[in-house]
Amino acid sequence: MKKKLLSALLATAMTASMLAGCGSDAASGDAGQKQDAADNAAASTEAADGETVAADEGKVLNIYCWNDEFQRRLKAHYDKYEEVDATTGKIGDITVKWNITPSDDNAYQNNLDANLLAQDSAAADDKIDLFLLEADYALKYVDTDYTMPVADLGITDEDLKDQYQYTKDIVTDSNGVLKGVSWQGCPGVLFYNREAAKEVLGSDDPAEVQKYVSDWDTFNATAEKMKAAGYQMTSSVNDTYRVYSNNVTSKWVEDGKVNIDDNIMKWVEDSKKMVDAGETGVHDMWSDDWRKGFFPEGKVFCYFGPAWLVNFSMAADTEGSIGYEGGWGAAEGPQGFFWGGTWIAAAAGTDNAATIKDIMLTMTTDADVMKEIVVDDDDFVNNQIVMEEMAEDTSYSSKILGGQNPLEMYCAGVYSLDLSNLSPYDQGCNEGFQKAMKNYFEDNATLEEALDLFYKGITEKYPELTY
């Protein structure tokens, strides 16, 4: 049984049906563990702002994540947390242990999978209690019994009423059960080089720039203007991919067959024209060539992303960068989209349910904490009321964006999101498709050959699929 479960988790993201067939033998499917966790959560006598969490919590809270972002957020905004060292903290009498494994080469998921599979045989102090998820693979975990329903922790719909619906949809399983919460929303916008906008478009005012990027045909026409002035419209074709892929009208897999949506093919068509015209490159995201546009000499007009991209990933702290000089602006761009986000999930079998409940409520529903995160961390938080207030707050602005307050744009974008076409295959399909199309963009394959390469690769990865 363990081998079957391990194969299900490591070989394919479609674990739901496999785990459903394992019944009570699955570690986290044990009804007694679920009831114990629910009882522990109910035993808490203090609300999120209380001084104690519960008297009968476990001695160790094991948290699994891929970087230190959540650790930093907890240290800064959860007043019950006390740092001991880089991998250890305290919450009252509970020792917090951080297990941080980078996502490179799927290492984080592999480590998480192996430890979840060992959850039933692990000692209480070694069990995973809380772990973090990204949108691209959230369904892999929420569609299993390894994640606890937040209702079993004692968290109600009323508690979460101010959160954006799309953040709930991403971690809702196929039976409609919510399995996680997030402190952040990640709606995206178009970040543009203000100097390039003034030089080529005659203005760096966001409303004026939006006229030149309001839809894809207009965006592509503006790319010609930028090229004539010595700028690339985007650093890479991959910069626009997520915008197109977030606006599909069908799923990657329909009735077991791989399906390529028309909007994905429009990305291919538009991108090929831009590459051939020298208006963009084919660099892999996060590569040194892709990053060159963070600096004036890189001569790139725009990037697409959420708040975390421009604030933390575009060299804003590096002297001489566009962001360091406050040289980026934000416009809504051709279509609304989102990118990333971090969700907090409780592992079934945890003996720290009340502590996890308190963390979730404090970090994702407390309005004061939400405002702190916006002001202190420049993050977009998962609270509609707070974000709408901050969008109208004239005292709030972004130095990186030249004093602009972009929150109204983020708010507008998040309401346009439609997550109805998410599927557990999304990460594999999106990554495989972009990789295959690079051959076409670089003229190393015809379109038909590149598509065939994608189909063969994805059905090898997921043998249950056809095309």
Q: Is 16 exposed, middle or buried (0-12, 13-18, 19+ CB in 10 A)?
A: buried
Mean pLDDT score across all residues of the chain = 89
Could you tell me the CATH superfamily of domain 2-185+341-389? Periplasmic binding protein-like II (3.40.190.10)
Mean pLDDT of 302-328: 96
DSSP string, 145-191: TTB--GGGGT--TTTTTTS-HHHHHTTB-TTS-B--B-SB--B-EEE
Q: 54: pLDDT confidence band, cut at 50, 70 and 90? A: low
Per-residue model confidence (pLDDT) at position 34: 44
Question: What residue spans in the chain does CATH classification 3.40.190.10 cover?
Answer: 2-185+341-389, 189-337+398-461
Mean pLDDT of 7-17: 40
pLDDT over 70 at 21, yes or no: no
Higher-confidence residue: 243 or 28? 243
Mean pLDDT of 364-382: 94
pLDDT over 70 at 217, yes or no: yes
Cβ within 8 Å of residue 151, ≥6 positions away? 177, 178
Terminal C-alpha separation, the chain: 30
Mean pLDDT of 199-227: 98
Residue 260 corresponds to which tokens in the numbers above? Answer: 């390529």
Per-residue model confidence (pLDDT) at position 280: 98
Sign of the CA dihedral 99, 101, 107, 109?
Answer: positive
Q: 417: pLDDT confidence band, cut at 50, 70 and 90? A: confident
Per-residue model confidence (pLDDT) at position 30: 42
Kindly report, residue by residue over 108-163, the tens digit of the pLDDT. 999 999 999 999 999 999 999 999 999 989 999 999 999 999 999 999 999 999 99
> Is 382:364 a contact under the CB 8 Å cutoff?
yes
pLDDT over 80 at 168, yes or no: yes
3-state secondary structure of 193: strand
Higher-confidence residue: 301 or 53? 301
Higher-confidence residue: 177 or 411? 177
Q: How far is Cα 147 from Cα 142, in angstroms, rounded to an integer?
A: 6
pLDDT over 70 at 83, yes or no: yes
Q: How far is Cα 431 from Cα 106, in angstroms, rounded to an integer?
A: 13
Mean pLDDT of 173-202: 96
Q: 419: pLDDT confidence band, cut at 50, 70 and 90? A: confident
Kindly report, residue by residue over 435-457, the tens digit of the pLDDT. 999 999 999 999 999 999 999 99
Residue 113 corresponds to which tokens in the numbers above? Answer: 């999978």
pLDDT over 60 at 165, yes or no: yes
Per-residue model confidence (pLDDT) at position 418: 79
Kindly report, residue by residue over 326-352, the tens digit of the pLDDT. 999 999 999 999 998 999 999 999 999
Q: Which of 342, 442, 358, 341 is nearest to 45 (CA)?
A: 358
Per-residue model confidence (pLDDT) at position 55: 57
Q: Is 205 exposed, middle or buried (0-12, 13-18, 19+ CB in 10 A)?
A: middle
3-state secondary structure of 99: strand
H, E, C per residue of 276-301: HCCCCECCCCCCHHHHHHHCHHHCEE
Q: For residue 62, what are the β-bridge partners?
A: 97
3-state secondary structure of 384: helix
Higher-confidence residue: 23 or 358? 358
β-strand pairing of 81-85 with 189-193: unpaired
Q: 4: pLDDT confidence band, cut at 50, 70 and 90? A: very low
pLDDT over 90 at 22, yes or no: no
Cβ within 8 Å of residue 368, ≥6 positions away? none
Whole-prediction pTM: 0.81
pLDDT over 90 at 407, yes or no: yes
pLDDT over 60 at 188, yes or no: yes
Q: 47: pLDDT confidence band, cut at 50, 70 and 90? A: very low
For 189-337+398-461, CATH number out of 3.90.1150.10, 3.40.190.10, 3.10.28.10, 3.50.50.60 equals 3.40.190.10
